[in-house]
Structure 1
Amino acid sequence: MARDYAARCPVSPVRSTWLVVAAVLLTAQDIGAQKVRVDDELEAYPTESVELHCQFVDGGGRTKLTQVSWIWEPVDGQRDNIAVYHPTYGQSFPNLFFKDRVVFLHNSLENPSIRISNLRMADAGRYTCEYATYPSGNEQGTTTLIMLAKPKNTANEVTVQAGTKSVVVAECVAAEGKPAATIKWLTSLGGNHSTSTTNGPDGTVTVRSSYRLVPTPADNGREVTCMVEQRTQERPWARTVRLSVEYPPSVSIEGYDNNWYVGRSDAMLVCVANSNPEPTTVTWTTASGSLPETVVVDGNKLMVRKVNDAVNTTFTCEVKNKHGASRHQITTIVIEALEDPSSAGVVAGAVIGSLLALILVIALITVLLTHSRRQQRRGYPSSGDSIATGSGGSNGGEYGNKARLLFSGSGNNSSKNGTSANNNGPIYTYREGCDATGTLTEKANDFHHHHLHHASTGNPPSSHDILLSGEMGEAERRKFDLDDSMEDEEERYDRFGGVGGGGNMLPPAYHVRRGHGSEEEMDVYLDDDMESQRDGSVISRTAIYV
């Protein structure tokens, strides 16, 4: 009958709209009337603790609370009661999985919050706080607990042998993490990687990534970096590993310098091997099989104590490791020694010493010659006489302006005290008169006769006698020394012309003195003109020797 009524009286569209609005308002009122307040979602880590808050809100105070329960839903369709509070019967924890790990924070129906300690990864799930009330029935609120786990990250190289196939050379693992981690590889190598995941019984995930390439000996020691990113990490985790590629040895011999001469004692060869792992054996042989007696082997070094014809051969070095063996050979040629290398230092020292000695002798001779020349240039000018500047003149007197005393002494007859042993040689005196004519006369050099004569007559000896005798003291000799101006005057002689130059010019030392005195005065001049030599002889400063 109702169906007939509905068919006869259909609902208008406007009325249907109002019905829908009313249903929405009733649903919103039911939602707004949620009286159990809980946290929507919580995150926690194993071994930590978490608090699950629950509070009943009754605006009008007309709802009567009977008891409250916490229900755990690890998976959909499974509900386990883990904690119950009754105002009369108290607290109850029926689930042994949470025994001694769950407690009520407040002993009250209005705030039945709980704490779960020593969390496990299996504790993840939904936790519902459910009230039994009167007259509205059960009221509840649900909190989702998310268990997080920091992954255990590792990165390691995989030791491989060099070859032609692509193999795994490095691995990176992020184990037992939740949520699952992400692994990346950072490297300049031209390889690739693959990743796999494994779920654990407690909800954790293990991520494994493998890096692959075709290994070569050049790849040994090169680096790759594994980087792990995961929600629980503040920053990405990174680890760099060095690849380990093993290969058989490659060998070369170093140290030969093409200068193995006979007698050399520091010759050496070194066997250089490149391998992974390190060589197990290094063997030296020659073309004949055995090594010469002058050769000593020390590991990869072959040392020659003394080079001779026995080492004029071919040396071979063989190196082995667990992946194979390799060898290399070199032919050494022995040459004749150009010089004794041991005496090179002695020869060099002798040459340098000789040069230094020669320089020292030259310097000494130069000093002696300079000193001797200065001694020979010293003169004894007489007092009262002036030095003429020309060869002619009209100064009258008994004797002219030229007087030369030629004396020859014997240097080999000088005694130790400097006196002459034989001063009996002739003395030639040239005198020129006022008329420009002169005569060369010989005067006997009878010093002892004059000396005795002066001694017998009581007259003191003249300077001439003193010079001839060589008995003049040091103080008396200083009186006849010339100053440095005489040496300068002699040096200026180089600027004078020769006799044939038209000037008839003579050096200042040979300019004659014109005097007006008697023969005795001339003798005084001759006495002053004499100069004693080192060999005991006495010569004239102004004499011209022909």
Structure 2
Amino acid sequence: MVRRDTRNWYDCMKMIGPLYLVASVLIQHASGQRVKVEPEVLSYPGQTVNLRCAFTDATGIQLTMVTWIYESKDGNRINIAVFHPNFEPNYPESPLKNRVSFAPSRPNLSSPSIQITNVKISDEGKYICEYATYPSGNEQGITYLVMLAKPTNSASITTVQAGTAPVVVARCESANGRPPAQITWVTTANGNATTTSKPGTENTVTVSSEYLMVPTPEDDGKDITCVVAHRTQVKPEIFPLKLAVQYAPQVAISGYDNNWYIGRTNVVLTCQAMGNPSPESVKWKTISGGEIPDTVQIAGNELKVLKVDDAVNITFVCEVSNSIGMSRDQVTTLVRASPLPPKSLPTGAIIGAIIGVILLLAIIGTVIAMYRKHRDKKLREGPPKYKPPPPKKTNSSGGRQLDTNHISMDEGRPLQDQYYTTQTAEPVTDLDAWHDDEDGYGEKGTEHYFSADPSGWDDPGDNEVLPSYMHTGTDTQNHQQGPTVNRGDSFVSPAMFV
């Protein structure tokens, strides 16, 4: 652990050392640069330019004298203005004499700025404001005067003929600018540019650029743009141009479909031509040099056959010319006895159509199957899975019910010996006569009545009385004869064995 900490401390010291050295240099430089000037001043020819200078902190220092020095690009230094508090300002002989002066006219050592009137391009260079101090010695600040001259820009196209050697097809120029302009090209044409510079007027620079390429007919009319960028311009100046390549006409005959048959009418051949300059003339003739058939009409670049016959079974030639040259194209028309059969659909198209139909049917079948599956699923779900409890048996329910009031509950008795009653299809309507019968099942004054209750009875007086048509005991074979009922009387059907 101790060895690791020692190694980390050593690495940190190795990094801090160079940083401390750089910081020391910067601090010394900052403390020594007490002459404040503008790093760069821009100006145009004929203007008045001010070059400012000041000593920022003179504490403990005695300012003795200030001198402005001009240093040209070749390194020569010339004193152009000197000021001592005990003397008048002095302007030694220099190219700027009578155009340079302190501002204000009676300067002071704390801010000895100068101005130059009617500046020229040759005034461009390095201007040094140098103080003589005690006890520090000389201290200085440097200002670069950059002279600007707005150039005159232009671009042009050179008309060329199609060929096989590179030629100049466009030129672009930025004349009399300072500093020199930058020229670039933007185009889809296959070529390259060459740029040259030469001195302009009053120490300016003229920049010229040429675009070279091997011109082809396909390059005619293509876009090419010259872009000039200069420090005096807010944005680059753009010159859009179009290439001009001259070439002989390119000719092609259209309209022949290889189905000229005897009797066909109004077929047309068209002579299509492109060229630069535009084609001047179009001429139709036969390859044999013979006369044009009488059934043929010529109108400019169109040849029209009014009615096809054996006379037009020849080769037609179209010749087109311009100032560059002449070009031609020809077509041989074959006259048939009868028209060609209509073209059938290509095998590929038929196969594609069949595959498309199969895919469509497959999609439809899939949709139908999904629909049916969804429908069957809904049907299988049916009513809710909850099953309500069975209804309680009431005395008013009809139908075939087990007559529990008159059936022995002995578990050993066979099921077939148990009897069920059925509700009669025709209700009893003559109950009064039965109630008046002395041989009835009830006494006078006591009411016994039938009901549609599943037991067959609802007698509040005596629930033990059996109806006359039910047998008693264990007799399971003999059936009681039902009563004789006259037409119009009420009746009860005999018991049924189930």
What range is the shorter-chain TM-score in? Answer: 0.3 to 0.5
Which has the larger helix fraction? Answer: 1
When Rg is computed on C-alpha atoms for both structures, the one with the higher figure is 1
Tell me the TM-score normalized by structure 1: 0.42
